[in-house]
Amino acid sequence: MNLLTLALGNLRRRPARSALTVSAIALGIAAVVALTTIAWGFEVSWQKANDARGTDLIVTRTGSENAMPSPFVGAAVLNQLAHYPHVQDVAGLLSEMLTIGDHSPPIFVFGWAYGSYLWDHLKLLQGRWPADRNEPVVVLGVLAAEMLHKGIGERIELEGQTLEIVGIFQSSALVENGAVLMTLDRAQSITDKPNKVNVLNVKMDKQASEADVSYVKEQVRKTLTGYVAITSGELVSRNAVVRIAKAMSQVTILIASLVGALVVFNTMLMSINERTREIGVLQALGWPRSRVMTMIICESTLLALVGGLIGIAVGVLIATGLEHTELMRGKIDAIYSAPFFAAVLGLSVLLGIGGGLFPARMAARLSPAQALRHE
Amino acid sequence: MNVAATSAQHLPVDATPILDVRKVFLHFDEGRTRAVDGADLRIAEGEFVAIDGPSGSGKSSLLNLIGALDVPTSGEICFRGQPYSDLADMALFRGRHIGFVFQTFHLIPTLSAIENVMIPALGCSWSATEKRNKAASLLSEMGLAERLHSFPATLSGGERQRVAIARALINDPDLILADEPTGSLDSVNAQQVLELLIGSREARRITLVMVTHDRSVSSRADRVIHMRDGRNELPGVAV
Amino acid sequence: MVTQLLAIALAMWSLQSLAADSRDSLPGLLEAIKQARHSDGFEVRFAITAVDAQKLRTVPVKIAVIGQANADRQRFLVRGISPDAVRNQHFVAENSAAGPIDAFEYGPDSEGHRISLDPFARLFNTDFVMWDLFAVWWDWPHQIADGNGEVNGRSCLRVKSRPAVPMPVKEVVSCIDRETALALSTQVYDAQHRLRRTIRVEKLMRKGSSEGLMAKKLSILGEHGATSEIDVYGGDEQYRISPETFGVLDRFLGKAN
């Protein structure tokens, strides 16, 4: 018999109350897990896409905070970039969110420079790649093919143009698996953006160091007015949608923490009120204040921990469910990692300690004689 | 029985009393309620002292002060010559030296009999096995060898009080304070519990201070201290 | 010396105040609205879903609007993208400095004819009206500020615009967001002062150039309980107007002249 078993026994005394408290915490933690997973997951999937492509730097127009950076004529900028030291290759791309046909939810459509390194990391599962830069064809990511229920030889309508599906590919990046891919020229044609890109991808050579990458960033800042070179992580994290999603997730963390702590606080306060005489007995039997406090905080932490574990499970279910909805499929890569879960559990523990601290101090401060007289 | 004649005359004159209560007052509500109003007495080591008096006379309040459960408004209580006001940790002191037996038992309902007995020993340095063995042994002594794992709700009043006595003894206290220990029991159980308390006290040479209304209980004591209006009627015995 | 310094300070403060207050005055706001509409070239793509009085939704119609506007001239090209029924239908129109609007309709083969840009003519069976693109009411002589309003939680200034001479549109009532010089709502009344349509901005988004806000979602409440929902899904704020873009229009105008 120890403090832990004692704390557990005390929680089991009021199963309904304990269950309600655990549920409240679980809901809050579930919201935190789901929102954070989605917010960070969107960022991660884009990051992975660029890492998979082998892109070291992305050059876009400054102030591009929307989902897709605003388009610009790529040629002049591309030529300048190509001459910087250690720059091995520069490839332009156009990315859009478009609906296919009449009723599908928006899907990523990428136009990549024909023959560029951007295509190298993809694995062709069926069919073939576009034969030339102007061919009116598309290749679908494996997830996109599933979502659109389309296969090789079938046609899709994009912005009034009919395009034949000639291939299905797989990528290590989820966002690419959920996308429609064509040549840059074709993408420029269907979106009526001749010679335009919204991103220039810069690949550095194998000898390039961090300092060389920083040099290119600095050179772009100094010599290409109106443009910025950033890593893919920086681009995505600047994006307004990602920032809003992250802000929402942070606000949720704050609210869930406050509510969780309050719920625990309320539960422990009620519990101590009911057990005033019992606490007096424990003190009479020689329990120091510190042990009384430890017992109370043990109870509150157990509640929060169980709530946290259930909340994580529910949050993962919600995020996984959302990942598979039509709207979100292929767009987010939910991040589940041991450090993340440990952090969430840590938050639960903090909630438990925080919510139980004041009631614990109240309990410990009771005069034994007063407590024993309590009705 | 003459109260004065029940004083512990057998103790040497120069022996330090285990308890020395010196003009102790306990007032509440800014003096409007005077629970203890100038109690002054001494209790010798190993004595069995009964405290009686009418309801509201301050018996339980005095017991609480002796048990360091309350702090006197003025006056001093000393344990083997050491004032309570000098003690750094009252809870530690209680745990080491005092065992309590309450009228309404005050067992923890979610713990079994043996676990209830082990409660005061939770912070001790003994091993879990040692604690368990000692608790089991005490419960056997109380005649509860078959009820070690029973919960209070399944025990009778007499059995619960026996568990409480075992609990009071687990830390080998010097002093047992019992507040109406037979008050909630029928006469048969009350007799059994009283015998167990007195027997344990004699076997272990523990000082026993008991608040009681029951003349048949107080007649078993070495000395009776009679309380009225917050003070003891006769002066404490000078030892 | 002190007097001179004070005078300079006063002048600087006045200039600053004037600049800050320009949108607080109606003429200043109207000027800001017109300036905000100027562009060397833009393209906007939106999907319009018509919802009838029985809440039945049509297949979304995607159209592209290409425009160019300055103080002297405005011209717009509307092109149907999908579905098949509207694909490559074009409507093109131009007006010069508050003059009449010349409008033409043509198909994929660039053959077409002149049309009258009716302020109540709906395009593609939706409540989208091309006449609205020109926002000619900002050049009308009678502009009256009519108190504050609110659209989707954003406060705005109500402005009533009336033409100099009787015309099919008797009045246009707009609610202008002072900060962005955007009309958050526009109500068009006919000659009998019947409300014919209300255009509301339902959602705003930041422009790609980060120079302010533009509409992301709009609704047009038409007659008989029908509405059209407009979702802006793409475009280019710096669209390159080539000779071919308005080539057909120029050809029509050359023919007309």
- 3-state DSSP of A90-152: EEEEEEEEECCCCCCCCEEEEEECCCCHHHCCCEEEEECCCCCCCCCEEEEEHHHHHHHCCCC
The region that residue A101 occupies, defined by phi over 0 for left and psi between -120 and 50 for alpha, beta otherwise, is left
CATH 3.40.50.300 assigned to domain B4-232? The reply is yes
Strand pairing report for A179-183 and A107-112 = parallel
Contact partners of A by the rule of 3+ C-beta pairs under 8 A?
B, C
A17 CB near a chain B CB, below 8 Å? no
Residues of chain B positioned with their CB less than 8 A from the CB of A3:
122
- Residue A13's pLDDT band, with cuts at 50, 70 and 90, is confident
Distance separating alpha carbons of residues A11 and A297, to the nearest angstrom: 12
Minimum-distance CB partner of C209 among A63, A97, A193: A63
Minimum-distance CB partner of A63 among C81, C205, C210: C210
Of all residues in chain B, the one with the smallest CA distance to A3 is: B122
Transcribe B17-40 into DSSP letters. PSEEEEEEEEEETTTTEEEEEEEE
Query: Domains of chain B: which residue ranges?
Result: 4-232
Cα dihedral sign, A166-A172-A176-A182: negative
Q: What per-residue confidence (pLDDT) applies to A63?
A: 64
Contact at CB, A287 and B91, closer than 8 angstroms: yes
Backbone angles phi, psi at C47, to 5 degrees: -105, 125
- DSSP-derived letter for residue C6 is H
Q: What per-residue confidence (pLDDT) applies to A359?
A: 86
- Which one of B28, B33, B63, B69 would you mutate to disrupt binding with A, by most A Cβ within 10 Å of its Cβ? B69
Structure tokens at B49: 């002292």
Distance separating alpha carbons of residues C35 and C21, to the nearest angstrom: 16
Of all residues in chain A, the one with the smallest CA distance to B61 is: A369
Contact at CB, B91 and A289, closer than 8 angstroms: yes
Half-sphere exposure of A364 (CA within 13 A, CB side): 18
Q: Are A298 and A10 in contact (CB under 8 A)?
A: no
Q: Are C55 and C80 in contact (CB under 8 A)?
A: no
- 3-state DSSP of B106-143: CCCCCCCHHHHHHHHHCCCCCCHHHHHHHHHHHHHHCC
Contact at CB, A372 and B91, closer than 8 angstroms: no
Structure tokens at A228: 């910025």
What does the pLDDT profile of chain C (257 residues) look like in tens digits? 444 444 444 444 444 444 444 566 888 889 889 888 999 999 999 999 998 888 888 889 999 999 999 988 999 999 999 998 899 899 999 998 767 899 999 998 878 889 988 999 999 988 999 999 999 999 999 999 999 999 998 999 999 999 999 999 999 999 999 888 899 999 999 999 999 999 999 998 877 665 677 889 999 998 878 899 999 999 998 899 998 899 988 888 885 44
- DSSP-derived letter for residue C138 is G
Distance to chain A for B131, nearest Cα, Å: 10
Percent of chain A scoring above 70 in pLDDT: 94
A159 CB near a chain B CB, below 8 Å? no
Residues of chain A positioned with their CB less than 8 A from the CB of C210:
62-65
Distance to chain A for C239, nearest Cα, Å: 7
Distance separating alpha carbons of residues C226 and C56, to the nearest angstrom: 10
- Across the A:B interface, residue pairs with CB atoms under 8 Å apart total 75
Percent of chain C scoring above 90 in pLDDT: 51
Distance to chain B for A6, nearest Cα, Å: 8
Backbone angles phi, psi at B46, to 5 degrees: 80, 0
Of all residues in chain A, the one with the smallest CA distance to C88 is: A160
Q: Are B210 and B49 in contact (CB under 8 A)?
A: yes
Minimum-distance CB partner of B110 among A3, A10, A280: A10
- Residue numbers of A between 102 and 161 with CB closer than 8 Å to C: 102-103, 106, 157, 159-160
Average pLDDT of every residue of chain A: 87
- What is the fold of C27-256? outer membrane lipoprotein receptor (LolB), chain A (2.50.20)
Q: What per-residue confidence (pLDDT) applies to C3?
A: 45
Of all residues in chain A, the one with the smallest CA distance to C206 is: A66
Strand pairing report for B48-52 and B223-228 = parallel
Distance separating alpha carbons of residues A99 and A77, to the nearest angstrom: 30
* Residue C87 burial (CB count, 10 A): 17
A75 CB near a chain B CB, below 8 Å? no
Contact at CB, A281 and B106, closer than 8 angstroms: yes
Contact at CB, C234 and A71, closer than 8 angstroms: no
Chains B and C touch (3+ CB pairs under 8 A): no
Distance separating alpha carbons of residues C241 and C50, to the nearest angstrom: 30
Distance separating alpha carbons of residues A67 and A241, to the nearest angstrom: 7
Tell the burial category of A358 from Cβ atoms under 10 Å away from its Cβ (0-12, 13-18, 19+): middle
Q: Residues B220, B226, B231, B235: what is their CA dihedral angle, to the nearest 10 degrees?
A: -80
Q: Are B206 and B178 in contact (CB under 8 A)?
A: no
- Which one of A279, A285, A373 would you mutate to disrupt binding with B, by most B Cβ within 10 Å of its Cβ? A285
Residue given tokens 């004649």 in the structure block: B5
Distance separating alpha carbons of residues C229 and B67, to the nearest angstrom: 80
Nearest residue to C212 via CA among C183, C180, C190, C187: C180
Contact partners of C by the rule of 3+ C-beta pairs under 8 A?
A
A37 CB near a chain C CB, below 8 Å? no
Distance to chain C for A37, nearest Cα, Å: 25
**Residue C39, SS3?**
strand
Element (H, E) at B10: none
Nearest residue to A95 via CA among A176, A162, A151: A176
Q: Which of these ranges, A166-175, A216-225, A228-237, A304-313, has the smallest mean pLDDT?
A: A228-237
> What are the CA-CA distances from residue A195 to residues A93, B142, B177, B185 (Å)?
10, 97, 96, 99
Q: What per-residue confidence (pLDDT) applies to A159?
A: 92
- DSSP-derived letter for residue C74 is E
pLDDT, one tens digit per residue, over A119-142 is 999 999 999 999 999 999 999 999
Q: What is the mean pLDDT of residues A227-239?
A: 78
**Residue C118, SS3?**
coil
What does the pLDDT profile of chain B (239 residues) look like in tens digits? 222 223 333 444 456 799 999 999 999 888 888 889 899 999 999 999 999 988 888 899 999 999 999 999 999 999 999 999 999 889 999 999 999 999 999 999 888 999 999 999 987 888 889 999 999 999 999 999 999 999 999 999 999 999 999 999 999 999 999 999 988 888 888 889 999 999 988 888 899 999 998 888 888 999 999 988 888 886 544 33
pLDDT, one tens digit per residue, over B152-204 is 999 999 999 999 999 999 999 999 999 999 888 888 888 899 999 999 888 88
Q: Are A231 and A57 in contact (CB under 8 A)?
A: yes
Contact at CB, C236 and A97, closer than 8 angstroms: no
Q: What per-residue confidence (pLDDT) applies to B11?
A: 42
CB under 8 Å to B69, separation ≥6 — which residues?
A280, A283, A284, A367, A368, A369, A372, B94
Residues of chain A positioned with their CB less than 8 A from the CB of B171:
286
Contact at CB, B109 and A13, closer than 8 angstroms: yes
* Greatest mean pLDDT range, A166-170, A358-362, C105-109, C119-123: A166-170
Q: What per-residue confidence (pLDDT) applies to B99?
A: 95
CB under 8 Å to A141, separation ≥6 — which residues?
A168, A169, A170, A171, A176, A177, A178, A179, A180, A181, A330
Residues of chain A positioned with their CB less than 8 A from the CB of C244:
none
pLDDT, one tens digit per residue, over C74-109 is 999 999 999 988 998 999 999 987 678 999 999 988
Q: Which of these ranges, A42-51, A151-160, B112-121, has the smallest mean pLDDT?
A: A42-51
Contact at CB, A367 and B69, closer than 8 angstroms: yes
Cα A300 versus chain centre, distance: 30
Cα C152 versus chain centre, distance: 19
Contact at CB, A285 and B95, closer than 8 angstroms: yes
Q: What is the mean pLDDT of residues A231-253?
A: 76
Residues of chain C positioned with their CB less than 8 A from the CB of A192:
43, 64, 236, 239
Residues of chain B positioned with their CB less than 8 A from the CB of A293:
none
> What are the CA-CA distances from residue A238 to residues A109, A230, C126, C216, C234 (Å)?
21, 10, 37, 20, 20
Query: Domains of chain C: which residue ranges?
Result: 27-256
Which spans in A195-336 are helix H? 210-223, 232-238, 240-274, 276-284, 289-323
pTM beyond 0.90: the answer is no
C100 CB near a chain A CB, below 8 Å? no
